Amino acid sequence: MKKLPKFTLSLNKKSDRWDLKNDKTNKVLKSVENKADIMKGGVIKKIVGKEGASVKVKKMDGKFQEERTYPKSADPKKSKG
């Protein structure tokens, strides 16, 4: 199985916006005002593209909330989630 690119969704305290960043390049792919706007309706899936990705989602305080795999079929079978 090929390794999926890794991304992190976290609050940028300077801009008070939620940034979806590529963990390898540290490049912001998308920045939104509300976390809910990027979490709903396949928005992240469209951003990461057909290759898919593993996305770590953080809370407002910066602590880990959850990790999601896009597309879901790329989720490793051994993982609990």
Rounded distance between C-alpha atoms, residue 37 and residue 20, angstroms: 12
Residue 80 belongs to a domain: no
Total domains, the chain: 1
How many CA atoms within 13 Å lie on the side-chain side of 51? Answer: 11
Residue 81 belongs to a domain: no
Helix extents (H) in the chain:
35-39, 43-48
Longest dimension (CA), the chain: 38
* Least confident span in 20-24, 33-37, 67-71, 72-76: 72-76
Q: Domain of residue 16: give its range.
A: 6-74
Residue 79 belongs to a domain: no
Residue 30 belongs to a domain: yes
Residue 1 belongs to a domain: no
**For 6-43, what is each residue's pLDDT tens digit?**
999 999 999 999 999 999 999 999 999 999 989 987 88
| 71, pLDDT greater than 60 | yes
Amino acid at 23: D
